[in-house]
Amino acid sequence: MATVERGKDGLRTDVYYGALEETEAKGYRAAGILLLRKRPTTEGPSYFEATTTTSSSSSIQVLCCAEVRKKKKQKPKNGIVELNLLGGKIEDADGTDSRVTAAREFWEETGGMVPLAECQRILNHDNKVLPIWCGPGKYALYVAYDGNNNPQWDQLPVTYSEALQSGKELPEGAEASHLVWVDWAIIQQCSQSRKKKKKPANDSIGSDDGTISFLVPSADNTDGERITVQQSNFVKYLFPDSNFQGGVELAIQKFLPSSSGTETTSNKDVKGSEGASGTKDAVEAMTRSLESVTI
């Protein structure tokens, strides 16, 4: 049986999925939601979508955010736009309930476009939620799917963009420049390409340097403007992790069993990664990379 490594605070340093162990459940430092959807039928340009297909309802997507991250050596007005998860740090009012933190942070970072009660509701159905512990970030991530198919989730990137442009007052945590639905296949593609050091066939959408692109509406161009973002250090090392990928794949198989257009891991492989430690090299690399990163 593989040895589980823990930090000085007793928290596991690896990535695993399934029910959080007591130490992680009480000692987490940040939490968030990775919302799943089956791509809906759309007409016209696919704005706020990083997708490689024009076929409706043929791919599984996850909701992420693009935000400006300022590095220490950059001037105050400069920054790099990075793809990141929707989540953040625990606050005193959260107690020690990572689901409370995840729902609040998700609500804040999506601009309060959907009521907080709705964000909490999707985490209260255990049959549609799968926790993933991300050790290097001390981060409890909840992969979730809303079986009620609330159309507000699909429209989040659009309503958020409109709120930003109108100057509407948003929650303090709404720091994203864009919300974007990303094909799960693209995340797999980028991760596999980095491992093999090869560029994927469709380099305009995802590439081995961690960039992902998507269209946003533009007054100057009827086809829209293409935005290209880097992956943050956190997701750059989390996305390729075999246990992270196994957890998301299991959630897709359980929550959307009739899905098509996504490459799935075999049941044997998925089962084998539940609660298991990631490779030591991957964990050490992610930890080093996250030492100076704020989630």
Is 12's pLDDT higher than 50? yes
Please give the backbone phi and psi of residue 136, each rounded to the nearest 5 degrees, phi first: -60, -25
pLDDT tens sequence across 220-268: 777 789 999 999 989 988 999 999 999 999 999 999 877 644 444 433 3
Bigger pLDDT: 147 vs 287: 147
Q: Comparing 26-30, 189-193, 274-278, 288-292, which segment has the lowest mean pLDDT? A: 288-292
- Supply the pTM of this predicted model: 0.83
pLDDT for the residue 157: 96
pLDDT tens sequence across 19-55: 999 999 999 999 999 999 998 877 767 899 998 765 5
Bigger pLDDT: 113 vs 266: 113
* CA atoms lying within 13 Å on the CB side of residue 216: 16
Confidence of residue 201 (pLDDT cuts 50, 70, 90): very low
Residue 60 β-bridge partners: 38
Confidence of residue 62 (pLDDT cuts 50, 70, 90): very high
Is 142's pLDDT higher than 90? yes
Mean pLDDT of the chain, nearest integer? 81
In one letter, which amino acid is 279? T
Bigger pLDDT: 195 vs 117: 117
Is 87's pLDDT higher than 90? yes
pLDDT tens sequence across 261-285: 444 443 333 333 455 444 444 444 4
CA dihedral 146, 150, 155, 160 (to 10 degrees): -80
Confidence of residue 202 (pLDDT cuts 50, 70, 90): very low
pLDDT for the residue 290: 41
pLDDT for the residue 49: 92
pLDDT for the residue 46: 83
Closest CA to 246 of 15, 1, 3: 15
